[in-house]
Structure 1
Amino acid sequence: MMSLRFHIHFLVLFTTLIIPKHCHGHLCLPEGHVALFIFGDSLFDAGNNNYINTTVNYQANFEPYGESFFKYPTGRFSNGRLIPDFIAEFAKLQFITPYLHPGYHQFIDGANFASAAAGALVETRQGLVIDLQTQLSHFKKLERQLRNKLEDAEAKILLSKAVYLISIGSNDYAIPFTTNSSVLQSYSQKEYVDMVIGNLTFVIKYESIFRINIIQGSIENLDLPNLVPLGCLPLARAANPGNTGTCMLELSALAKLHNKALSEVLPKLERQLNGFKYAIADFYTSLSERIDNPSKYGFKESKIACCGSGQYRGINSCGGKRSVVKEYELCKNASEYVFFDPVSLLNPINCYSIGKSKPNGQHKTLFVFGDSLFDPGNNQYLNGSGVEGGAITWPYGETYFKHPTGRLSDGRLVPDFIAQFAKLLILPPYLQPIAHHFTDGANFASAGGGVLAQTHPGTISLPTQLSYFKAVVKSLRQKLGDVEAKKVLMRAVYLFSIGGNDYFSFYSQNLNATQSNRRQYVGMVIGNLTSVLKEIYGLGGRKIAFQNAGPLGCLPAMKASNPQLGILCAKELSALARLHNRDLTNVLENLESKLQGFKYSIFDYYNALGDRVSNPSKYGFKNGKAACCGSGAYRGMNCGGGRNGTEPFEVCSNPSDYVWFDGGHTTERTNLQLAELIWSGAPNITAPYNVKQLFGHA
C-alpha cells in the first residue's frame, strides 16, 4: 500500500542565466531567471508529508532515508537527492524546499508541492495526502503572493518562463491492487485511465500562458521519464499472487494504457495551448531494459530493493517505523541496486543516468587535491580533527546548500563550480560513507592539509591524499578493467590547491628566517609536490591544473592576529607564496618537457585574488579586506564560534558584497569568479592552457 510512482514531467526549457538583474522593490531577479514549480508524489516529495496529519506509512523522515547526501532524513523517499534537487542544481537554483515547510521560502525560485502517495484523483488516499487538485490550489495561493510582491507583468513573465515538473498517477493505478478498492469493478480499465488523464489535463490547462514542455532523453537535455512498468517494482513482485517473482502484468498493462492515452492527449493540448511543446520519453522501455539487464548498466541487482523486508525486500518496512513490519534489511551499497526501497525507482544519481550508458569519450572526470580552499567536507569524517573547526556550524553553507556541509564558505567552492562547468555532479567528500561514482572523479582535499606530512598532523596531508587516489585507481581497474580505467585516468583533470598551510606553519615558527632558510623550505615543499605529480603520472594522470599560492599575507585572519600590520599585508608570508609560485612554474615546465603527454595549467590565483582584495568595486564587491563572518579586526577570527563553537561573532547581511567569507576563505561569489578564470581564463591569467582546454585534449 506504499506509493508506486509514475513520471510525467512538464518542463519549460531553461533560459540561460546571466548576471544582469531586474529589481522590483526589495526583490532582484537575474535576467533569464527560471523558477521551478514541482507537483507530484513520492518521487518528487521533498518533505511536504512531514507537515500534514498523515500516518508514518506515507512519510520518510527517519533513517536510513537521506543517509547518502544530506546525512539525515529530510522526508525524501530516497537515500539522497531527488530528481527535482538535481534539476534545481543544474538550473543554478537552491534546492526547492517543501511548500509546507514553516521556514523561509524563496518563492521566486519556485516551490515544491509534491506529496508522497498522492494521486491525480482526489479519492486516492483521500485525507492522508495532498492530492493533485490541492497541490494546484497551493500553487494558486502562491501565484497571488508573487503578484503581490512583483508587478503583475513581471509575475506573469516569471510564471510563464518557469519549469513545471509533474510526477503523478501511479498511486491511482496501485490502489485497486493494494487495497480492497472495487474501482475496477465499477469502471473499465480505459474509463479509469481516462479519469486519471482528465484530472491531469485539467491541471496542465489551468494557466494557458505557461510555456510547458514535456522533454525526453539524457539529463543534459533535461530529459525525464513517463510511466514506468509498475508491475515490476519489488512491492508489486512481492504482492503478485503465487509470489513467483514475475511482474504483476495487470498493473503494468494499466501503465501502458496510461502512456498511450497521454501520447494522444498531448498533441491536442499542443494545438489548444499557445506555446505548449512536448516530447515523451519511453521510460517504460528504458527502465525495463535496466531491470532485465542490470549488469549492462553497472547494477548488480534489479529485482530486490536495497531497503525493506520479505521476498525481494518488497514489504515497505524500510526504516522500521511503518505499520507493516518493524524489522527491515538494508544493503551495503545502494548504487548496486536499481531500487532503493520497494517503490523508490532509483538511487537519484543513477536515475540521472537514465538514457546514458557507461562514460564515453566525452565524459569528463575530475580529481581534486588540496586544502581548505577545496575541501568539500572531508575533515568532518576524521577522528579528532579540530583544524579550522570543520565548517560544520552555521553560517557556513548558508547561501547555497542551506546547511553546513564542511565547506569553508557560505556556499560552493571552486571545484564545485568546475564540476558543474564540466557537466558533472558536485563531487562529494571522498571520506563520505556513500556509494561513490569514481568515473566522475573524487575530492580528497582536507582543510589544514599541507604538501608536507608534518603540516597540521591530524588532517589529510598530500601524501595521504595520494594514497586515497591509489585506492580509487584500484577500484576503477576492478570495475572497468585495466584498459577502460586507463582511459578514464588519462582523460581526467587533476586539480590542485595546496601549499598555503605549509607556509603558514613555517612563518609562525620561523619569524626570523633568513632568505636562504625560506628558499630551502620552499624547495622542500616543491620537491614533495613534484614527487606526488610523478606518481600520478605513473598511474595514468596526464592533465594537471594548479591554483597557485595566494597572497597569504593579506588574509583577514593574518591581519587580525597581527595588529601591528594595520591595513598592510605580512610581506614575508606573501614573499614565500611568490617563491613557491615561481618554482612551481619551473617544475611544471620541466615535467612537460620530460614526460610524454604531460600537460598543465596554472591559474594565477595570487594576482587574481590580490586584485579583488585591493580593488573590490572593480569586480562588483563592496569590501575586499574584511570578512563577512567573524570577530575582531577585519572580522578575521571565530566565524561560526571558533573551534569550540562558543566564541561570539558577527555575520554580514549579504556575503556576495564581500571577497572574504571568513578570515581565510572566500565567498561563493568570489569562488565563482575564480572558477570561471580557471575554467576559461585568458593566457595572461591561466596558462599555458585553461581547464576547459585541458579537458578538450585527447
Structure 2
Amino acid sequence: MARIKAIHLLLLGQFIVQLVLIQAEIPSIIVFGDSSVDAGNNNYVATVAKSNFQPYGCDFYNSRPTGRFSNGRIATDFISEALGIRPIIPAYLDSYYNISDFAKGVSFASAGTGYDNYTSDILSVIPLWKELEYFKDYQNRLRAYFGPIKASKVLSEALYLISIGTNDFLENYYALPVRSTVYSVEEYEDFLLGIARNFITNLYILGARKISIGGLPPMGCLPLERTKNYLLGKICIQKYNRVAKEYNLKLQQLVMRLNQELGGIQLVYSDIYTILLDIIKNPQSFGFEIGERGCCATGRYEMSYMCNKLNPFTCDAPNKYVFWDSFHPTEKTNFIVAEHAINNSLGVFL
C-alpha cells in the first residue's frame, strides 16, 4: 500500500510541476457548490452527509480525513496548486483556518446541496443561498483584514468556481415525488437555471468577475445509478445522461447570455461531462483498471457512513479506480478533471 501511494504521489507531483509553470494573476480561488467541491464544511453541520472519517482521506496529507468526499484531494485543490496559490482550499467553517488562510482561497460548498432549496433540506445541509451569505461575511472579514481597497482588488481578481446540480436531479427530482409532480424534467431544468442565473448575478453584484460554472456529469454512469439499473446489467442509465446533456446545453446558452448582459464579467462553462464519460468508458487509457464501481466497500451503493474503515471490501489501490465511493471520484480522477479544466475552460483566465 505504501509503495502504491508513493508512486501515485510521484506521478501527481510530476503533473503539478508542469502545471505550476503557468503564470496566472489570480490571488485567490473562491468555491461554491456540493460534495464535488466541499472541503469539509459539512463537518460542522448536523447532517448524515459527512466524510470526516477513514477510509476517506487515506491518500490526503498525513492520511487525514477532512470531510472531502474522496480518498485524497478534490479538483479545486489541484486547480489551486496548479495556479501556484496553495495545495488545498480550506472549508470556510473550519476553525483551524483564519482569514489570512481564506484570503488565498476558500470553499463554501456543502455536500448534498443543490440549486433547489428543497434539495438541501433533504439531508439538512447548507443551501446555496446560505453559501452566498457566508461569502458576504467573508467579504466583511477580508475588508477588515486587508482594508477596503486591497480587499476589493482580491475579490475582483479572484477565480470563482461553481460546481452544483447533480443532487437536484438524483437526490430530489428522480428520488422523491415532490418536484416531479409539479415540473416536467425540462421545466425543472429551467427552474434550476433560473436560480443559477440569479446566483451568478448576485456574485457579480458582490464584485465577482472571473467565474467558472460546471455542468452536470454523466450522472447515469455513477456507480450508484448503475447499481439501480440491475436488470439491464448495471449499464449507465441513459435517461439521466440525456437530461445532463440537455441541461448542460441550456447552461452554456445561459453563460453566453450573461456574458452579454453583465459588463466586464468573464463567465465560462466548465465541461465535466465529456472528460468524465471518456474516463469511465476508457479507463485503461487514463491509467485506471475499474470504471464501473468505486474502491470503498463494494463500490456499488456505499458512500458517507456506509463507506467506513470497518468494511472489509475496500480496495487497497484507489488509483486503479475511477470512483472512490459509489458517487464520488478518486483523487486521481479529480486531478485529471482539474487538468482538463485548466487546459480548456479556465485557460481564458491564465
* TM-score bucket of the superposed structures, by smaller chain: 0.7 to 0.9
The Cα offsets for residues 128-154 of structure 1, whole Å up to 9 and x where unpaired, read as: xxxxxxxxxxxxxxxxxxxxxxxxxxx
Give the distance between the partners of 1:397 and 1:29, measured in 2 at CA.
Answer: 15
- Please tell me whether residue 410 in structure 1 is matched to residue 71 in structure 2: yes
Give the distance between the partners of 1:31 and 1:466, measured in 2 at CA.
Answer: 36
Give the distance between the partners of 1:410 and 1:490, measured in 2 at CA.
Answer: 33
- Please tell me whether residue 693 in structure 1 is matched to residue 348 in structure 2: yes
Give the distance between the partners of 2:186 and 2:179, measured in 1 at CA.
Answer: 14
Change (3 A) 1:520 1:479: same
Task: State the secondary structure of the residue aligned to 1:369.
Answer: strand
Change (3 A) 1:431 1:595: same
Q: 1:396 aligns with which of 56, 80, 97?
A: 56
For 2:133, the equivalent position in structure 1 comes to 467
- Please tell me whether residue 432 in structure 1 is matched to residue 82 in structure 2: no
Give the distance between the partners of 2:8 and 2:274, measured in 1 at CA.
Answer: 30
Q: 2:292 aligns with which of 609, 625, 632?
A: 625
Work out whether residues 163 and 213 of structure 2, in 8 Å CA contact, stay in contact via their aligned partners in 1.
yes
Work out whether residues 70 and 330 of structure 2, in 8 Å CA contact, stay in contact via their aligned partners in 1.
yes
1:539 to partner: Cα distance: 0.9
My pick for the range that moved more, 509-518 or 481-490, is 509-518
Percentage of pairs with the same residue: 31
1:143-542, aligned counterparts within 5 Å? Answer: 362=25, 364-382=27-45, 384-387=46-49, 390-401=50-61, 402-425=63-86, 426-433=88-95, 434-437=97-100, 438-457=102-121, 458-504=124-170, 505-510=172-177, 517-542=184-209
Change (3 A) 1:30 1:605: same
Give the distance between the partners of 1:641 and 1:460, measured in 2 at CA.
Answer: 19
What are structure 1's unaligned runs of at least 5 residues?
Answer: 1-25, 35-88, 94-219, 221-360, 682-689
Q: 1:592 aligns with which of 259, 266, 269?
A: 259
Give the distance between the partners of 1:27 and 1:385, measured in 2 at CA.
Answer: 34
Change (3 A) 1:471 1:588: same
For 1:571, the equivalent position in structure 2 comes to 238
Work out whether residues 297 and 312 of structure 2, in 8 Å CA contact, stay in contact via their aligned partners in 1.
yes
1:674 to partner: Cα distance: 0.6
What amino acid is aligned across from residue 440 of structure 1 in structure 2?
K
What amino acid is aligned across from residue 106 of structure 2 in structure 1?
A
Work out whether residues 399 and 411 of structure 1, in 8 Å CA contact, stay in contact via their aligned partners in 2.
yes
Change (3 A) 1:28 1:445: closer
Q: 1:637 aligns with which of 290, 296, 301?
A: 301
Change (3 A) 1:516 1:453: closer
1:603 to partner: Cα distance: 2.1
Task: State the secondary structure of the residue aligned to 2:53.
Answer: coil
1:648 to partner: Cα distance: 4.0
Q: 1:669 aligns with which of 332, 337, 340?
A: 332
Task: State the secondary structure of the residue aligned to 1:625.
Answer: strand
Change (3 A) 1:538 1:513: closer
Change (3 A) 1:606 1:508: same
Give the distance between the partners of 2:314 and 2:285, measured in 1 at CA.
Answer: 23
For 1:583, the equivalent position in structure 2 comes to 250
Give the distance between the partners of 1:431 and 1:32, measured in 2 at CA.
Answer: 28
What amino acid is aligned across from residue 396 of structure 1 in structure 2?
Y
Work out whether residues 639 and 650 of structure 1, in 8 Å CA contact, stay in contact via their aligned partners in 2.
no
What TM-score, normalized to structure 2? Answer: 0.87
Work out whether residues 661 and 667 of structure 1, in 8 Å CA contact, stay in contact via their aligned partners in 2.
yes
Work out whether residues 99 and 141 of structure 2, in 8 Å CA contact, stay in contact via their aligned partners in 1.
no
1:646 to partner: Cα distance: 9.1
Work out whether residues 400 and 411 of structure 1, in 8 Å CA contact, stay in contact via their aligned partners in 2.
yes
Task: State the secondary structure of the residue aligned to 1:546.
Answer: strand
Work out whether residues 638 and 649 of structure 1, in 8 Å CA contact, stay in contact via their aligned partners in 2.
no
What amino acid is aligned across from residue 453 of structure 1 in structure 2?
N
1:441 to partner: Cα distance: 2.6
Change (3 A) 1:27 1:516: closer
Task: State the secondary structure of the residue aligned to 1:456.
Answer: helix
Give the distance between the partners of 1:464 and 1:584, measured in 2 at CA.
Answer: 22
1:439 to partner: Cα distance: 2.3
What TM-score, normalized to structure 1? Answer: 0.45
Give the distance between the partners of 1:515 and 1:575, measured in 2 at CA.
Answer: 20
Give the distance between the partners of 1:547 and 1:427, measured in 2 at CA.
Answer: 18
- RCO comparison, higher one (Cα < 8 Å, 6+): 2
Count of residue correspondences: 335
Change (3 A) 1:646 1:602: same
Give the distance between the partners of 1:573 and 1:509, measured in 2 at CA.
Answer: 15
Q: Which has the higher helix share?
A: 2
The Cα offsets for residues 261-301 of structure 1, whole Å up to 9 and x where unpaired, read as: xxxxxxxxxxxxxxxxxxxxxxxxxxxxxxxxxxxxxxxxx
Change (3 A) 1:363 1:528: closer
What are structure 2's unaligned runs of at least 5 residues?
Answer: none
1:454 to partner: Cα distance: 1.3
Task: State the secondary structure of the residue aligned to 1:386.
Answer: coil
Give the distance between the partners of 1:91 and 1:421, measured in 2 at CA.
Answer: 9
Runs of 4+ in 1 over 3 A off after TM superposition: 26-34, 89-93, 510-516, 645-649
What amino acid is aligned across from residue 391 of structure 1 in structure 2?
S
